[in-house]
Structure 1
Amino acid sequence: MKIFGYQLGGEKRSGSIENPTVPVSAENFMQFFGVQSGNLPSVTIDSALRVPAIAAAVSFLSGSLANLPLHAFKPKGDGSERIKGGIQKLLNEAPNPEWTSFGWRKYFWQQVFTGGRGVSWIERNGATTAAIWPMDPSTTVVKRVNGRRIYVFDGKSEYPASDVIDVPFLLKKDQISVYSPIMLGSKAISLALAMGDYAGGFFAGGGVPPLALSGPLPAGADAIKRAQSDIRRSIDSAKSNDEAIFPIPPGYKLEAVGFDPQKGQMTEARRFQIEEAGRIYSLPPVFLQDYTHGVKANVEQQDLHLVKHVISQWAKALEEELNLKVFGPRSNGRYAEHNLDALMRGDFKTRMDALSRAVNSALRTPNEARNLENLPAMPNGDTLYIQGATVPLGSQPLLQAPPTGKENDKGNENGDGNDSEA
C-alpha cells in the first residue's frame, strides 16, 4: 500500500525529492532532517572556552589568585618576619628569567581550572632553589615507579615528586589521575555550545526559523525545486530592498518548522548556563557578570563567599605545595603565605579603615601600614601605639573632693580648733 509515494511496511519510496537512501523511521527521524542522531557538540578545552561563562570563570579565578601577593617568612623571636631576597623574589617577583610571578601563577591556575592540573618544576642549585619553571600538563605524564610518584615531561625529562609543584583540581582514586572541571561539566557546556550554535544560525539567517514549503499534490521534483527557487529569490529581494512582504508561487504556502526561540525560553536557558558554570567552579554568579538576582545585601555575601570558600582554599593548596617542595619537610619554620588583604586593594575606604584600626589597636606599626601602601617609612614609625581611653577596671585612683573649710569651722565651735586671734 502506498500513500504519497511511500511504501508502508518496507519503507521503500518511489520517485521523491528526499534522499531515498535514508528510511523514514522513528530512529532515523532526525537524520531525515539532516541532524546526525541529535548529538550535542563534543567538548574540549578549546571549545569550552568559547562559552563566555566558562572563559569568564577561568580568567577570573586564575587572575584573582595570581594577583595575591605571595611572601616567604622565617621565624624571629616569638613571631616571624618576611624573608628578603632569594626565595622571596622567586615567589613574589620572578620565578625565573623568563616569567613574572603573576604570569607564572596565572598560567598555573589556568591549567588547574581547564585540564584539572597545574605543574611546575623546581630547579635547584644544591640545596638552594634557583628557579621555578611552569610545565605543560598535557605533555606531562604522572606515574609510579617503585611506589614513588614520577613526572615525565615531554617524554624525556623525569622529575621526582619532591621537585614538582602539583595542584590538582580533583584527584581520582588512583591518586595520580585528575578530574578536569571541563569534563565534569561537559553536558552543561555542550548544551551551552548547542544553544550558541542554534542562536548563531538563527540570527545569521535573518531571524527566520527553518521553513517548510507545502503545495498542491501530487507535485514533481522539478516543480517543487522551481517553487523553492522562486521563494528564495523573493526572500533575498525583500531583504535587499527592505520590504516586509514577498510573493510566493500560487497554491504554495510556508510553514515554520521547529520552535520560536522566545517560546523555547532560549534567553532563560542561556542565562541558566551561567549558573551552571558557576556551580562547576563554586563561583558566585555575580563574578560571572550575572546580576539577575543580585541586590546589595546578597552581592556582599557573595563577596565573602568568594574569599572564604573559593580563593582561600586554592591559595592554601599552593601554599602547602610550596612549603613542602621548596622548603622541604624540615623547613626550620620557614613558610610561604598569600596576603588575602590584596583582594581589598580596590576598595580605598575599607582599606584605610582597616589600616587605621590595626595601628590604633597596636596590631601594626605606622611604618608597617605605610609599607602596605607602598609609602616610605617615617622616623619613629616603628613603635606600636594603642588608644588610651580604654583601661582595666579599677586601675584609676579614686578622686578625693577638695576641702571646703567647714571642717575648721566645726573644730572651732567645739574648742578643738586653733584660734587665729589667740
Structure 2
Amino acid sequence: MGILSHLFGKTEARSATSDSYAEAFGISPTSSGAYVSPRLAENLATVSACIGAISSTMASLPAYVYRAHEDGREELHGHPVARLLRRPNTTQTWPDWMEWTMAQVLLHGNALSAIEYDARGQVTALLPIPWSSVQVSLLPSGRLVYDVTRVVAPWGGGGRPRRYLADEVFHLRDRSDDGLLGRSRISRAPEVLGNATALQEWSGTMWQNQATPSGILQAPGNVTEEQLARIRAVTDRNWSGVRNARKTLILTGGLEWKSVSVSPEDAEVLASRRFTVEELCRLFQVPPPIVQDYTHNTFTNSQQAALWFAQFSLTPWARKIEAEFARSVFGTSSADCTLEVDLSGLMRGDYEARWKAHEIAVKNQILDPNEVREVEGWNPRPVAAPPPAPRPEVV
C-alpha cells in the first residue's frame, strides 16, 4: 500500500506542489477567511523576519569536515566535501546555499539538493531544487524517489524531468508525521497565520477606505438604485481613501451625515497585531527580540534571548544538517567523516565574550596563546632567539 493511500486514502505519489500539497494535508481557508501558503506567509513581516533570522544566522556559521581516528579527530581541508563548504555549486557560495536551504525547509517543511559526482565517485556539487518542482513517490522496495520537473537551471536540463533516488539527494526535513517527508509549520498552524493575514488586510483596507469624516449618509426619503449608485460613486471618488483624508464633505439633496468613526485603537487592532507577532515567533521558535520586537524587553532578557535562540532554534537545525550530510553526502564510503557546524561562530560579533572565553581556555591550559591567535586568524608569535651565551672570563 502506498504511503498516501495508507495515510490519506489518496494517490500513491505525494506531490510537493502548493495546491496538491495543501490538499494532501487538508489545508483550506482559515476561519478568518484568509488562505495560507508559503508565498502569502512571507508577506507577514514577522514570518519573513523569523525565517531571515534563522537562515541568515545558520549561513554565517563556519562548518568543518573531520575524520575520526583512535587518537581523536583531524580536520580534512582537502576532502571533496570540504571544497563544497567553499563553493557548493557554480552559482552559489556556501552561505548562499545554506540560507536558501534553511528558507526552503522553514517554508515548505523540506529542502532538496541533488548531489553531483565526478567519474571517480567524489562529490562535486550540491544543486538546489525548489520543493515546488518535486514529486515524491514511494517504491515497492520502501525507498523514496524524487521526480524533478520544471527546473530551468544549468543542472535541470532545460526543464526536462529527472528522477533521483534517496541516496542521490540531500533532503533536510522539518518535523515529520510519517518519517518520510517533513511538514511545514505553516501547514501545522494555518489559523495563526490566517488570523495574522486577516488582521493585516483589515488594517490596510481601513487605511485604503478611510474617509474623514467617516460615517453614514442619511437621505430624507426613499432613494432609487440609480441615485444610490451615483451617491456611492461620488463618495468613493471624492472622500474615500488616504489621499482624500480630511477633505471637506459637501452634501446636497437633503442628505445628512452621521459619524460612526471607529479608530484602530478602539477596535484593539493594534494590540491584536502586537500579540500576533508573539504567536508567529512561537511558531518558528524565535525569541521576539531577535525579530526586533522589544515590547517586553530588558537588558537581561535580551541577552537570554540570544542564548535561547542559539540553544533551541539553531542547535537542532545544526544537528539535523550534520546528520543529513552523514547520511547522503558522506554515505558509506566516508563513514568515518563528519560535518560540524560550529556554533561558536555566533561569538564572532561579541568581542568581549570571545576574549573572556580565550582567557579561560589559556588559564586552564586548554589552549596556548598561539592556538588562540590561530583561532583569531593571526600568525603564531615568532620564536624568541635564545640569549647569547656568556663570554668566558679572561684571567
Do they superpose with TM above 0.5? Answer: yes
* Contact 2:32-2:195 within 8 A present in 1 as well: no
Match of 1:179 among 179, 183, 186: 183
TM-score by length of 1: 0.73
Aligned equivalent of 1:339: 342
* Contact 1:123-1:131 within 8 A present in 2 as well: yes
Aligned equivalent of 2:38: 45
Matched, 1:140 2:145: no
Between the aligned partners of 1:335 and 1:60, the Cα distance in structure 2 is: 26
Q: CA deviation at 1:296?
A: 1.5
- SS of 1:374's partner is coil
* Contact 2:32-2:194 within 8 A present in 1 as well: no
Aligned equivalent of 2:21: none
What amino acid does structure 1 have at the position aligned with 2:176? L
* Contact 2:170-2:324 within 8 A present in 1 as well: yes
Instruction: Out of 314-323 and 211-220, give the one that drifted further.
Output: 211-220
Percentage of pairs with the same residue:
25
What amino acid does structure 2 have at the position aligned with 1:123? E
Aligned equivalent of 1:371: 374
What runs of 5+ residues in structure 1 fail to find an aligned partner? 1-36, 382-422
Aligned equivalent of 1:22: none
Match of 2:111 among 100, 108, 118: 118
Stretches of 4+ aligned residues off by more than 6 angstroms: none
Between the aligned partners of 1:346 and 1:298, the Cα distance in structure 2 is: 18
Compute the RMSD of aligned alpha carbons: 2.9
- SS of 1:114's partner is helix
Aligned equivalent of 2:284: 281
* Superposition pairs of residues 235-384 of structure 1, within 5 angstroms: 235=239, 245-249=248-252, 251-255=254-258, 259-329=262-332, 331-379=334-382
Of structures 1 and 2, the larger Rg is shown by 1
Between the aligned partners of 1:38 and 1:185, the Cα distance in structure 2 is: 12
Matched, 1:157 2:157: no
What runs of 5+ residues in structure 2 fail to find an aligned partner? 1-29, 150-159, 385-395
Q: CA deviation at 1:332?
A: 5.0
Change (3 A) 1:177 1:320: closer
Matched, 1:65 2:68: no
Instruction: Out of 163-172 and 151-160, give the one that drifted further.
Output: 151-160
Instruction: Out of 71-80 and 44-53, give the one that drifted further.
Output: 71-80
- SS of 1:61's partner is helix
Between the aligned partners of 1:38 and 1:309, the Cα distance in structure 2 is: 31
Q: CA deviation at 1:210?
A: 6.1
Query: Whose helix proportion is higher, 1 or 2?
Result: 2
Change (3 A) 1:257 1:363: same
Change (3 A) 1:332 1:112: closer
Aligned equivalent of 2:388: none
Between the aligned partners of 1:74 and 1:54, the Cα distance in structure 2 is: 38
Matched, 1:167 2:172: yes
Instruction: Out of 245-254 and 57-66, give the one that drifted further.
Output: 245-254
